[in-house]
Amino acid sequence: MRCFCFCAVHSLAAARYIRGVNTASIPVKTEPIPERQPRKRSTAAGNAAAASFANLIERLDYLSPSDLERVRLAYRFADEAHLGQLRNGGEPYITHPIAVAGQCAEWRLDAQALMAALLHDALEDCGVTKPELIQRFGSPVAELVDGLTKLDRLHFDSREENQAESFRKMLLAMARDVRVILIKLADRTHNMRTLTDTPRDKWARIASETLDVYAPIAHRLGLNQTFRELQNLAFRHLRPWRAEVLERAIIKARGRRRDLLQNVQRAVESSFVKSGMKVKIAGREKSLYSIYKKMQGKHLSFADVNDIYGFRLVVPSTIDCYTALGTLHQLYKPLPGRFKDHIAISKLNGYQSLHTTLVGPSGTHIEFQVRTEAMHMVAEAGVAAHWLYKAKGPQDSGQAERMGSQWLQSLLDIQDENRDAAEFWEHVKVDLFPDAVYVFTPKSQIMAMPRGATVVDFAYAIHSNVGDHAVAARTNGEAALLRSELKNGDVIEIETDPTASPNPAWLSFVRTARARSKIRQHLKTLAQADSQSLGEKMLTQAMRSEGIENLPPDTPDKQAVWEKLLRFSGNRSRAELLTDIGLGKRIAGIVAKRLLTLLVATGEKPDAVLLTRERFGAGESVSQGSVLLDGSENASVKFANCCRPIPGDGIVGYLGRGEGLSVHIDTCLAAKKLKSKDSERFIGVEWSDAPVRTFETGLLVTVTNGKGVLARVASALANAETDITHIDMGDEASQGSVVLRFLVAVRDRNHLDLALSKLRRTPSVLQAQRSRILGALNADRAPGNEH
């Protein structure tokens, strides 16, 4: 054991500057680790593990002798830790870490990554501690292993949250060291290869998780070979019958088209021999899952899928790629609209290649991919090309690592703004499917955006301040809506206003995680400020009902009063208490009574005149004081959609738990139902004498069906200076009369009366009235004056 510990400490010193990480400042414990009790295993199991590890060592010829020795030490430790444990298939558990390390060796990962691969289940399954790993193998290896460990020791409310937290930890570790995700993908790949050994009732969950999470990550990082394998393995376990049928069809088609493909390959080889260009030609076949998705997405039969087979050409240089493309187009006719230049504009994961589809013999469509050797390295290994082809220079692999790092860093930015695991999960899954479009800034900078992204997404991609203050946009020099989808080649110009702020409606159409995260962050901040303002207004009104004109100021002489009140409410600050009142988490009347008691104890007395006026004014029953509404309350006050109150309506306020204040018409049936169940949460609300904005309400307009009638109705509303915010014509067939449903914005009841009057004088209008939603209107109102 002494020799073992000495070697581990020595290897740490030797590794202090590996990958530029200076670990000299990391304290290394030197106290002895207790000896683990040796356990016995069968000779057959030992031979199987030894053979697996020997096979791994044969593939590590790229490591130095000292690194090989460190890998052996990690293997011995992992072998001892997993001794006695078996896989579902009956083989020793250590064969799994060895297989994971073997996949990492295929990517030529360094010794630290291979050691972490061998140890990746030690913390989770064997009771090994992180300090123990630090002492034996150094801090970098321990950090990699810790990044791979599930959070089983913590408790979460649901399995989904557990997965979201584990996923976040994995991604954040990845953003700091991409080797974590490479090891994790290797781990998942081997688990999928051996999934048939697990109980069948687990197949669907594991395969779905692989398709939803791990395969997209592999694709985003450019690990195309791993991406295709994970997709195919998941498909075979998620839809085994479909996969089997499709696989048999592919085998038959392969036999039928063998002669045709051989003829095409000979013709292509002959053309390049004549041109004198050195080229490597290899046949390629569409993956099983990608064929299935194409059939499913385009509703095709297998016979209709005509691009199953293709060829890949690897040429010496980038210029040769375009020369080779010309040679191919001279040999076979290209299919219009099927050429893609991913060399000039690479994909988000760094992928570069020319794609063209040609019409071959017998009208068969054949796809050709043309790339250089360096591009091929990146296409197959993605970010792993950094290690896999390090010896060939940084320019061969730097593109993929750079493109991958942009995505990884963006995950860190999102996590900084969203501490909730489920919300973070939602943001990240949006960005896992990056089918891209490429647009230009006014300064001709190319920006890659996910397909379906909008102008608002583009604005936030430029800078959060641009997105927050965006008010208009121009696409290719023409005015465009902020919700307009981006198209390849668009030149986007954003107009901003310093006083503007994000619109909550943007959340319904933005596509990127960054935009969604920034908008939500801003709205949360805005809602908190609005709720605090509303809470202060409500508490002030409640205190007036107790005979106190104003809230005590937040000054040193009143600090003791506020501290006692905060202890009573359980809040940490005055601002938090007022926000809770505004959100309905605290009842203003109860807080006011407690605050009155505290003020009376300091010698302050209620004003009897104010108390009488507020509580018993106009002969009304005892009240809590009314909140004045003028439309400036923003997110803290919601005007109920069930009845859509406007100034002039009698109104009531319902303080939902954590939902802020909802305002209803006093005769609204929904409000009456709430009052019968939760009457203590209703407060008095009144309209201000000078509202600052318009309010939406509904109109039902019955018209004689005919040409131009909608234009006449819209003109009448415009003449009344009434804005139309929504029109619904229903699904009624063409009849003699049609009911049009409008949402209009009016200042008050008088403005609504004017609009209805103009509508009733309009030709073709049979009836015009305000929508009667949930009995919101007074039943005793005369039919001719309904609004």
Q: How confident is the model at residue 34 (pLDDT cuts 50, 70, 90)?
A: very low
Q: Taking residues 664-678, what's their average pLDDT?
A: 88
Predicted confidence (pLDDT) at residue 492 exceeds the cutoff of 50: yes
Comparing CA positions, the residue from 1, 104, 102, 112 lying closest to residue 54 is 102
Q: Is residue 229 flagged as an active site residue?
A: no
Strand 660-665 to strand 637-639: parallel, antiparallel, or no bridges (unpaired)?
A: parallel
What gap in Å lies between CA 234 and CA 231, rounded to an integer? 5
Terminal CA-to-CA distance of the chain, rounded, Å? 90
pLDDT of 149 higher than 90: no
pLDDT number for residue 222: 75
Q: Kindly state the tokens that stand for 683.
A: 């407060």
pLDDT computed for residue 29 by the predictor:
38
pLDDT of amino acid 39: 52
DSSP character string of 37-72: PP----HHHHHHHHHHHHHHHHT-TTS-HHHHHHHH
Tell me, what amino acid is at 37? Answer: Q
Q: Which residue has the higher pLDDT, 527 or 502?
A: 502
pLDDT in the model for residue 530? 74
Q: What is the pLDDT of residues 303-315, one digit of tens each?
A: 887 778 889 999 9
Calculate mean pLDDT across residues 435-461.
Answer: 83
Give the contacts of 34 (CB within 8 A, at least 6 positions apart): none
CA dihedral over 333, 338, 341, 347, signed as positive or negative: negative
pLDDT tens across 179-217, in order? 888 888 999 999 999 999 999 998 988 898 888 778 887
pLDDT reported for residue 743: 92
Is pLDDT of 489 > 50?
A: yes
pLDDT tens per residue across span 537-569: 878 887 887 788 888 888 888 888 888 888 877
- According to DSSP, the β-strands at 695-704 and 365-372 are unpaired
Over 90: is that where the pLDDT of 229 sits? yes
User: In angstroms, what CA-CA distances link 492 with 44, 440, 463, 471?
Assistant: 67, 6, 14, 13
pLDDT at 72: 93
Which of 80, 106, 124, 493 is flagged as catalytic?
124
Q: What is the pLDDT of residue 10?
A: 33
Lookup: tokens for 68: 């090989």
Identify whether 124 is a catalytic site residue: yes
Within 10 Å of residue 55's Cβ, how many Cβ atoms?
A: 12
Residue 442 to residues 415, 450, 464, 512, 582, Cα–Cα distance (Å): 30, 19, 18, 21, 44
Can you tell me which residue has the tokens 């802020």? Answer: 660
Number of continuous H segments (helices) and E segments (strands) in the chain: 31, 20
Distances in Å between the Cα of 78 and the Cα atoms of 30, 108, 284 are 21, 21, 39
Is residue 506 within 8 Å of residue 456, measured between CB atoms?
Answer: yes
Which pLDDT band holds residue 697 (cuts at 50, 70, 90)? Answer: very high
pLDDT at 709: 87
Banded model confidence at residue 430, pLDDT cuts 50, 70, 90: low
- Distances in Å between the Cα of 9 and the Cα atoms of 69, 75, 622 are 13, 16, 78
The confidence band for 521, taking pLDDT boundaries of 50, 70 and 90, is confident
> Which of 198-212, 512-526, 655-669 has the least mean pLDDT?
655-669
What is the rounded average pLDDT for all residues in the chain? 78
Q: Which of left, alpha, beta for 648 (phi over 0: left; psi -120 to 50: alpha)?
A: left
Share of the chain above pLDDT 90, in %: 25
Kindly tell me if the per-residue pLDDT of 151 is higher than 50. Answer: no
Q: One of 106, 125, 666, 748 is an active-site residue; which one? A: 125
For residue 473, what pLDDT is reported? 93
457-473: b or e for each residue (b if 16 or more CB lie within 10 Å)? bbbbbeebebbbbbeeb
Query: pLDDT tens, 247-278?
Result: 998 888 877 777 888 889 999 999 999 989 99
pLDDT of residue 130: 87
Average pLDDT over residues 664-690: 85
> What is the band of 395 on the pLDDT scale with cuts at 50, 70, 90?
very low
Q: Assess contact for 175 and 411: CB atoms under 8 A.
A: yes
Predicted local confidence at residue 573, as pLDDT: 86
Crossing angle for the helix pair 258-275 and 318-331, nearest 10 degrees?
120
Q: Whose CA is closest to 74, among 133, 127, 140?
A: 133
722-755 residues labelled b (16+ CB within 10 A) or e (exposed): beeeeeeeeeeeeeeebebebbbbbbebebbbbb
461-475, 618-632, 719-733: which has the minimum mean pLDDT? Answer: 618-632
Strand arrangement of the beta sheet that strand 682-687 belongs to = 626-629, 682-687, 651-656, 660-665, 637-639
Mean pLDDT for 207-232 is 84
* pTM given for the model: 0.54
Give the pLDDT mean for 689-714: 88
In this predicted model, what pLDDT tens digit does every residue of 340-393 receive, in sequence order? 998 888 776 678 899 999 988 878 888 899 999 888 887 877 666 555 544 344
Cα three-residue angle 243-382-515, rounded to 5 degrees: 90
Q: Residue 417 has what pLDDT?
A: 64
Distances (CA, A) of 277 to 315, 330, 334: 8, 15, 21
**Residue 754 reports pLDDT greater than 90:** yes
Task: For residue 189, give the 3-state DSSP assignment.
Answer: helix
Which range among 34-48, 121-135, 223-237, 689-703 shows the weakest confidence by mean pLDDT?
34-48
